[in-house]
Amino acid sequence: MAPNLSAHMTVMQNAVQRASKRLLRDFAEVEQLQVSIKGPGDFVSQADLRAEQSLRDDLTKARPGYAFLMEESGAHGSDNWAWRWVVDPLDGTSNFLHGIPHWSISVGLERRLPDGGSEPVAGVVYAPAVDEMFWAEKGSGAFVNERRLRVSARRDMQQAMFGTGIPFAASSATLRGRFARTLDVLMPQTAGVRRFGSAALDLAWVAAGRFDGFWELQLRPWDIAAGMVIVREAGGYATDPEGGDPRTRGDVVAANPHLHPLLCAAVREGLAAA
């Protein structure tokens, strides 16, 4: 059974649930727009912005002094913030755009440290289309809805399933090359590599044991902040390929404790080869 929600977690879950209601209505509409000549691109952009505004309104009302880092509108609040929300109102926009029901709302909470750095202390990744609420707070464990989460126990790379993000048309040639080399290293070692299209959900799936690990390069803070807390509270590791903070440059490797060093080594090998 899940523990009672803290004040912070209650605020976060209420905010994402309210934002999800409009997104679900928009998602039903975008499936119809698929067949139009104009296409649903502008519609989805507006859906994204409306969801972000809903989240900002609710989180600000509950915690007026907290700062924000948001995908669409950037940073808000004091530069000397003590607490900061890190928000992606629609992670998996391309899936949403194509009527694929694999997208999420991600809200992380960061706390300022005495040395001037910060640490992620809570995270929510909500998949409205399937009503799965992944959540965690530092020191309290990770959950999906009311069920406790644990990372997988697999130790053998040949039995492991990994998630990733594949660079697309707008990605640099350098990034595409790094991904191709890393994939070339990993493919002969694993049971499979999957690309589902929402990094926040991929991290949550590592926490749930659905993926044994996940890696992606050049993500943004709002892609990582919530999911890394959920992975760590489920007993896994979420770092960059060298074992540092993945928020620093956006390169993330997440996995169970047995496979994390092996996945990091494979990603480093791929980067070096590229």
Instruction: Provide the domain count of the chain.
Output: 2
pLDDT at 127 over 90: yes
Range of the structural domain that residue 191 is part of:
157-273
Among 148, 169, 204, identify where a domain stops.
148
Kindly state the average pLDDT of the residues 44-72.
Answer: 92
Does one domain contain both 168 and 215? yes
87 and 219 together in one domain: no
252 has pLDDT over 60:
yes
pLDDT at 11: 98
Place of tokens 């009311």: 146
107 and 199 together in one domain: no
> Do residues 11 and 139 both lie within one domain?
yes
Q: How far apart are CA 48 and CA 125, in angstroms?
A: 16
Query: What is d(CA 108, CA 85) in angstroms, rounded to the nearest whole number?
Result: 6
pLDDT of residue 44: 64
pLDDT score, position 177 = 86
Is residue 39 predicted with pLDDT exceeding 80? no
Where does the chain have alpha helices with state H?
7-33, 41-62, 93-97, 173-186, 199-207, 221-233, 260-273
The average pLDDT across 209-238 equals 97
Shared domain check, 186 and 139: no
Q: What is the pLDDT of residue 32?
A: 66
pTM, two decimal places: 0.92
Asked whether residue 26 falls in the same domain as residue 143, the answer is yes
| Mean of the per-residue pLDDT values of the chain | 92
Residues 122, 218 within the same domain: no
Q: Say what the pLDDT of residue 48 is.
A: 87
The reply to whether 142 and 12 lie within a common domain is yes
Within-domain flag for 59: yes
Asked if the model's pLDDT at residue 36 lies above 90, the reply is no
Which residues lie closer than 8 Å to 225 by C-beta, 6 or more apart? Answer: 86, 106, 108, 109, 110, 120, 123, 247
Task: Specify the pLDDT at position 42.
Answer: 53
CB atoms within 10 A of CB 51: 24
Cα-atom radius of gyration of the chain, to the nearest Å? 18
**Same domain for 176 and 259?**
yes
Per-residue model confidence (pLDDT) at position 274: 65
Amino acid letter for position 153: A
- Judging by beta carbons within 10 Å of its beta carbon (0-12, 13-18, 19+), is residue 215 exposed, middle or buried? buried
Domain closes at, from 91, 115, 148: 148
Termini Cα distance of the chain: 46
Residue 2 lies in a domain: no
66 plus 26 within the same structural domain: yes
Q: Tell me which of 97-101, 121-125, 228-232, 252-256 is least confident.
A: 97-101
Strands 192-194 and 237-239: unpaired
Asked whether 2 and 142 are in contact (CB, 8 A), the reply is no
